[in-house]
Structure 1
Amino acid sequence: MRIKIFNIDLNSIKEAQKLMPKSSIRKVDLIRSNTFSEICCNNIFLKLECYQKTGSFKVRGAATMIERLSDQEKRNGVVAASAGNHAQGVAYASSMNKMACTIVMPKNASPAKIAATKSYGANVILEGNNYDESSDYAYKVARLEGKTLIPAFDHPDIIAGQGTVGLEILEDLREIDEIYVPIGGGGLIAGTAIAVKSMNPKIKVIGVESVAYPSMKQSIKMGKICNIQNGYTIADGISVKSPGRLTFELIKKYVDDVVVVDDLSIVKTMFLLMERSKIVTEPAGAASLAYIISNRQHLSKHKNIVSILSGGNVDMYLLGQVVAKGLMQTGRMIKLFIELRDRPGELKNIVDEIAKANVNIVEVVHDRLSSNISAGTAGVYLSLELENREQSHVLIKLFDKHKIKYKLIE
């Protein structure tokens, strides 16, 4: 693999910033959120990389590496393996340079992400059942066709490009106490930490991983690269089994701590971002803010805290689930199961009681045939929209008063 920058420092990140075409890379906003500041009793600032070109910070590193290619390397083209944001970043940066680009994606990659990658002019090859198998094939393509492999995170050019996020944060806000950054392979936090610590060593930089894939946290604890074999998280952008060797060394040196967050916190945060701030993120993109919110009681008060929202490329079907689960978590939707005698008027009586509580019925599923439904009865599943948790208490009191048997479904 070609490595042109052996030293990754503040100067190399500043050089990357100069290299980036202004038409290709946005300087995205750093905003103070009143909502999350009030929730966390701190000044919470959001770095909106979810509004970056291609919907993710990944294009920064890809553009930096591609800009540094020789003329011959550009003529030969590039190849990368990715199931998501890196694919789109490499494809977009290649199209800006009018270069041939091949992206290897797993066979089970999201059709939406495949279509988005193709829309930037990339030749997409579906090979392998997971990222590791796709990556092996990409190496093979690079070797046989003479293309330059653009890695997702473990390369000096990539890290320098991602580090421009840190430069921009400091350009917009000088007084900072802590910066929280999602960690997958570690390119974003490595670059950001180098930039930030080089300019102000007092600022704490904290990485956030999924509790299902704490590969960087575990590696730092053990003092060596660790591999997480099994896990599941909706935050696929940070579900990395093993961190990069280069990013591992840099994070050990520059990052103050690595913490973890669960999917439940991520879902709630995505929902709050949409409802309160009108910001759509992908699960990995919301991870750093999710950790801040879920651990707000342990934070010191009245600090300036930055959360990097790293991406916004969320699958629309998942987004629908996030909305539904977010409503349930905030007490504004409940699901009930009620077993009724199978005779006319029984369901109407239930509906009338729900109407008295001024509750909206979102969905009704009527079931007579399941084995858990007794003969002569009918089961009814109800999804109900509420104003708040208190309204559900009113509804339940009505059910109890009229001796309506129900079961809350979590």
Structure 2
Amino acid sequence: MAQVNEIEPTWNILGDSFPKQYEVPEEVEKKPKAENISKIKLKLQDIQDAHNRIKSDVVFTPVIEAKYVGKNFCNVFLKCENLQNTGSFKARGACNILSSMSPSDKSKGCTVSGGRNYLSAMTYYGFKQSVPINVIVPKDCPLVDKHTYKENFAIVKVHGNDLNDASLHALTYCDEIGSNYVHGSDRLDLIAGYGTLGLELLTQMDKMDAILCPVGSGGLVASLVLAVKSLKPNCLIYGVECSAAPTMTKALQEKKPVMIQLNPTIADSLSTIIASNNAFNIVRGYLDRMITVDEVWISRAMINILEREKMVVEGAAACPVAAVMAGKVPELRGKNIVCVLSGGNINSSRMSRVIDRGMAAEGRLVKFSVALPDVPGAMAKLLAKVTDNGADVKSFVPERAWMRRDIFTVNMLIETSDIHHAKDLEKKLLKDYPHSHFIML
């Protein structure tokens, strides 16, 4: 990777000519105050030092041009952190933390608790650097995750019903055994490691108008703000959150990190109850825009990346692509946009559910219920009409136990090519089966 020369940070946020409707809401303070600037302890030099420290131990992940995302609207490029060691950008932060530790601290080992991607990264680099890692997980931690940590020779202990219980116990446990407690989000050395992604982007993209980055606690987007805005101040940086956990959006509105009510989401690694203090102090006044996307668009983005770009990504990583697909960035028409695919760690059962949800959201999976006369050939006739119209029958369940006279119900799951095909099929079937019922998302 080419050496990035340090320059004094300069900040050029949206000018007056930028369309008003696309700016950060007025209640979010855009111009930083002096006291806010003084809180930013992380410097560009820290990120450059992190790059020199970890460059031989992390993957210089590729940037590829998307084949279909944003087609006829903008030029979308994908920064593939799903191809990083341990499958996410968290590897950069974990590697920088452990590489920065003194031999004495390394010998004491580390105690960690947190999200799956962070723990995978810490145990992976702990093994590579011969640092003992103790992992504290709650009772509901998936077996596959615990197996991954143990494969990296970490000691895994189960405590509590949720992540909060596990994290509190980790603090007590590290004192008992004399190890270092390594927090999984609000650390400057962690953010510095993440920032190496931004330095890579600057060497990979000659023309880069905007970066769309997933936001959970805010460490990754904060690192990009500092690294990229310092060296390419005109590049827009947008944070993208899931609507179920708008942590940074709420923090910017309230002008401080605040706890939010979480809701279930496909993008579970973005499900953070409060934004990181350090991340908030970096992005406040410098982040160009925050965007939220709902579950349907996240599912559709994951399906699009799987089928069109031939990559598996987790829900969080799909959020930037979801923002483009949902038409959330009309001001970027014709621009070169980088979507950060932050990770690709998703288990097979969840991926299966996401595929079904995404296909349903696109009108490619349709539920169909119809009343049929209990006479020979009725079901065969129905199936023929469906298949003759180019649809595939995924499931077919007749329910004769609830027959009324000589009428019974058939529930079908049908795969179509798209929403237009589904609507056309519905119209044709309703002519022959007027009492049928279609369900589309």
TM-score (norm 2): 0.86
CA contact (8 A) 1:339 1:406 kept: yes
Alignment partner of 1:131 is 2:149? no
Any idea what the Cα deviations from partners look like across 1:189-245, whole Å, max 9, x if unmatched? 111111001101111111111111112111111112210134221111100001111
Determine the structure 1 residue equivalent to 2:277: 245
Query: Aligned to 2:118, which of 78, 86, 93?
Result: 86
**1:72 corresponds to 2:104:** yes
Is the CA contact (8 Å cut-off) linking 2:187 and 2:278 kept in structure 1? yes
Aligned residue number for residue 14 of structure 1: 48
Counterparts of 2:411 and 2:336, CA distance in 1 = 46
Q: Does 1:399 pair with 2:429?
A: yes
- % identical aligned pairs: 28
The one-letter amino acid paired with 1:27 is: F
Residue 262 (1) aligns with residue 294 (2): yes
Post-superposition CA distance 1:158-195 (Å, at most 9, x none)? 00000111001101013211111111111111111110
Match of 2:37 in 1: none
- d(CA) in 2 for partners of 1:8, 1:396: 58
In the TM superposition, what whole-angstrom CA distance separates every residue of 1:7-52 from its partner, at most 9, and x where no partner exists?
3111110111111152x3101001111312415x111111000111
Please tell me the root mean square deviation across aligned C-alpha atoms, in Å: 1.8
Matched, 1:378 2:411: no
Q: Secondary structure at the match of 1:362?
A: strand
SS at match of 1:243: coil
Letter in 2 for 1:346: A
User: Which amino acid letter does the alignment assign opposite residue 16 of structure 1?
Assistant: A
- 1:305-364 superposed Cα distances (whole Å, 9 cap, x missing partner): 111010100121121122222222223332201122334332122112223223221111
Greater shift in the superposed pair: 265-274 or 110-119: 110-119
Q: Distance in 2 between matches of 1:174 and 1:181?
A: 19
Partner of 2:246: 214
Specify the alignment match of 1:182 in structure 2. Answer: 214
* Distance in 1, Cα, partners of 2:312 & 2:281: 33
- Provide closer, same or farther for how the CA distance between residues 232 and 201 of structure 1 changes in structure 2, counting only shifts above 3 A: same
* Aligned residue identity for 1:330: E
Give the distance between the partners of 1:400 and 1:140, measured in 2 at CA: 65
- Structure 1 unaligned runs (5+)? 1-5
What amino acid does structure 1 have at the position aligned with 2:125?
A: A
Alignment partners' CA distance in 1, 2:325 and 2:179:
44
Q: CA offsets, 1:279-315, max 9 Å, x none?
A: 1100011111211221256233211111101010012
Once residues 355 and 362 of structure 1 are traced to their aligned partners in structure 2, the CA distance between those partners, rounded to angstroms, is: 11
**In 1, distance between residues paired with 2:185 and 2:267?**
17
Contact 1:45–1:306, Cα closer than 8 Å, also in 2: yes
1:163 and 2:195 correspond: yes
SS at match of 2:207: coil
**C-alpha separation between the residues in 2 aligned to 1:292 and 1:300?**
9
Match of 1:227 among 248, 259, 271: 259
State which of 56, 71, 78 in structure 2 corresponds to 1:46. Answer: 78
The residue aligned with 1:3 is none
Asked if the contact 1:90/1:150 (under 8 Å) is kept, the reply is no
Contact 1:53 1:59 in 2 (8 A): yes
Structure 1 residue 375: Cα displacement: 5.6
Structure 2 residue identity aligned to 1:31:
I
Q: Determine if contact 2:262/2:271 at 8 Å carries over to the other structure.
A: no
Contact in 2 for aligned 1:208/1:287 (Cα 8 Å):
yes
Structure 1 stretch displaced more, 281-290 or 253-262: 253-262
**Count of paired positions:** 401
1:274 and 2:311 correspond: no
Q: Quick one: distance in 2 between partners of 1:297 and 1:252?
A: 20
Alpha-carbon contact 1:210-1:233 (below 8 Å) kept: yes
Change in CA separation of 1:180 and 1:247 when aligned onto 2, cut-off 3 Å: same
